[in-house]
Amino acid sequence: MPIVPPAPGTPLPTNVAPLPRLLAYLQALDLASYLHRPKRGLTTLTLALLWLVLAWRGSGRPEHLAQLEEPLLAALLGCRRLPCPRTLQRSLARFAARDVRRAVEVAYLAGLPYRTGRVWAAIDAHQLPYWGRGKLARFQKGWAGAQGRPLRGDRLYLAVDTDTGQVITYLLARGGRRDHQALAVLARRVRALLRRHLAGVVADCGFTSRASVAALAGTDIPFILGFARSAPIRRRLAALSGQQWRGLREGGAIRLGPCPWDPRLRLFALGARTPGDQRGPWVYVTSLRTAGPQHLAATYRRRWRAEQAIEELHNGHDLDHLVSYRLHPNQVAVGFRLLARNLAIGHQIAEAQARPDTIREPRAFRATRVDGLGTFAVEEQAIVVTPLRPQPPEPPYPLPWVQRLVRYAA
């Protein structure tokens, strides 16, 4: 898609006037060591920026690169024209999946100094479906909760900050991997990243098994996990007194005694929030022996932030699209979408110098931080952007990856 370069000093219209601020924040995090790979032609840093801008614009598909046909973007990237979708697709082989995952983690940790309190991490799984009809043997079946049935695809495991919704770390595996096999791995990685800032982890009953509970208990990481209502648990619930059943009304919680798998662990039951909901009570196992059931219930309910993050990634960053039949390109492509989410939320935290009262979801963030009318002009190594609405003076924004400097005209 050729873009005719403007003559120096000639103003051109643009629809991404706020974008340089976001790119400057990204390049100030020093992620180049994870995303740079020597290659001829376009650098991997430029290609990584294209993947991120594509995710901020709501897509994860190289064939949607035509949506980025924007003269300002080409100027910000320091290239005469944007690459073709095939080049962008093939660039995934240049990145290491572990380095993209490390970039996601570093982008999350950059906002930690601005916050107070300790972090509860919610671990959840999501099946990225493969809707094609060919090469079915390359994908394994796994449970897709959104569709209520097993689907072929890849399995994405997320550790999500229950306060901000950022992705702490992640793992993309074959679709047939069992959830309980990934619990201890993710929990150990979260502890290695957060250390003293980690309060504990929460997860639903799909991650609970004897082996996973024993492995997690051996790490000394506090946890609250869903617990299946097996026959012994149903007998415990049937033996509850009338006073205990009254305690379960309207979302109340009560203790159920020690866990049958490990006497050091405790069970508690949580009732439905509305009288018409007949699904409860739900049972959970925890390593927090001294905490009261109401506090445990309130802590576990924060797990909804992981489900909300998956929903926002699905609707705002095209999470469910697989770009390849092979696992490695999908790991890298999904990693860029998760990195785009962390950078979007981290940018809001850095601007507020604290946890904002309102964190904008992807589409609202795009409307205020990515899209915006204005004009720009290229003056040697500097780009002067004039937004449509006048704004107070701002310091220049350096873009070291592409050796550019962006100034906003008042």
- How do residues 80-133 score in pLDDT, each as one tens digit? 888 999 999 999 999 999 999 999 999 999 999 999 899 999 999 999 999 888
Give pLDDT, residue 145. Answer: 83
In the numeric block, the tokens 């309980």 are attached to 180
Residue 346 pLDDT greater than 60, yes or no: yes
DSSP codes joined into one string, 74-140: HHHHT-SSPPPHHHHHHGGGGS-HHHHHHHHHHHHHTTGGG--S-EEEEEEEEEEE---SS-GGGSE
| Single-letter amino acid code for the residue at 63 | E
Q: Which of 22-31, 302-311, 389-398 has the lowest mean pLDDT?
A: 389-398
Give pLDDT, residue 288. Answer: 93
Point out which residues pair with 128 in neighbouring strands.
154
Q: What is the pTM of this model?
A: 0.93
Of residues 134 and 177, more confidently modeled: 177
Q: Is 35 helix (H, G, I), strand (E, B) or coil?
A: helix
Give pLDDT, residue 39. Answer: 83
Contact call for residues 154 and 128 (beta carbons, < 8 A) = yes
In the numeric block, the tokens 């629809």 are attached to 15
Q: Is 221 helix (H, G, I), strand (E, B) or coil?
A: coil
The Cα 42–Cα 210 span in angstroms is 50
Give pLDDT, residue 85. Answer: 92
pLDDT band at 6 (very low <50, low <70, confident <90, very high): low
Of residues 147 and 355, more confidently modeled: 355
Give pLDDT, residue 374. Answer: 94
Parallel, antiparallel or unpaired: strands 198-203 and 223-227: parallel
The Cα 279–Cα 262 span in angstroms is 27
Mean pLDDT of 316-323: 94
Q: Which tokens go with 309?
A: 């993050």
DSSP codes joined into one string, 272-310: -SSTT--S--EEEEES-SSS-HHHHHHHHGGGHHHHHHH
Interior angle at CA 388, CA 383 and CA 392, nearest 5: 75
> Which among 219, 295, 218, 217 has a CA at the least distance from the CA of 258?
217
Give pLDDT, residue 128. Answer: 95
State pLDDT tens for residues 361-407.
999 999 999 999 999 999 877 999 999 988 888 899 999 988 889 99
State pLDDT tens for residues 234-274.
888 888 888 888 888 777 899 999 998 999 999 999 987 77
The rounded mean pLDDT for the chain is 91
58-78: string of b/e by CB count within 10 Å (b at 16+)?
bbbbbebbeebebbbbbbbbe
The Cα 24–Cα 26 span in angstroms is 5
Contact call for residues 63 and 80 (beta carbons, < 8 A) = no
Q: What is the dihedral of CA 65, 67, 73, 79, to 10 degrees?
A: 40
Q: Which secondary-structure segment (H or E) carries 254?
A: strand 253-258
Give pLDDT, residue 1. Answer: 47
Domain boundaries, the chain: 12-96+342-408
